[in-house]
Amino acid sequence: MITNKWMTLPAALLVAAAVTACQASPGEPAAVQPQPPPARTSPPSGTGEKPADVQTAPSPSVPSASKPPQAEAPPAQEPQPAAKTYRMNPKTYDIVPIDPDKHPKKVVLLTFDDGPKDMEMNKAMLDTLDKHKAKAIFFLNGYRIKQKPDIVKLLHDRGQTIGNHSWDHIDLKKENKEKVDQQLADVQKAVEELIGKAPSFFRPPHGSGSDLVRAKAKEENMLYMTWSNGSKDWEMSTKNHSSDQVAANVMEQLHAGSNILMHELPWTVEALDKLLTQLEEKGYGFVDPDAIELTDTASSTPTAKAP
Give the CATH number of the domain where residue 106 resides: 3.20.20.370
Entry pTM: 0.73
Q: Is residue 243 part of a domain?
A: yes
What's phi and psi for 12, nearest 5 deg? -65, -40
Q: Is residue 220 part of a domain?
A: yes
Q: Is residue 278 part of a domain?
A: yes
Cis amide linkage into residue 116, ω under 30° from 0: yes
Q: Which residues carry out catalysis? A: 113, 263
Q: Is residue 80 part of a domain?
A: no
Determine contact, residues 217/202, Cβ cutoff 8 Å.
Answer: yes
Q: Is residue 68 part of a domain?
A: no
Q: Is residue 20 part of a domain?
A: no
Chain centroid to Cα 292, Å, comes to 19
- Digit-by-digit pLDDT tens for the chain (307 residues) are 444 444 444 444 444 444 444 444 444 444 444 454 444 444 444 344 433 433 444 444 444 445 555 556 566 565 566 789 999 999 999 999 999 999 999 999 999 999 999 999 999 999 999 999 999 999 999 999 999 999 999 999 999 999 999 999 999 999 999 999 999 999 999 999 999 999 999 999 999 999 999 999 999 999 999 999 999 999 998 888 899 999 999 999 999 999 999 999 999 999 999 999 999 999 999 999 999 999 865 434 444 455 5
Q: Which domain holds residue 195?
A: 86-291
Q: Is residue 24 part of a domain?
A: no
Q: Count of domains in the chain?
A: 1
Q: Is residue 78 part of a domain?
A: no
What's phi and psi for 16, nearest 5 deg? -65, -40
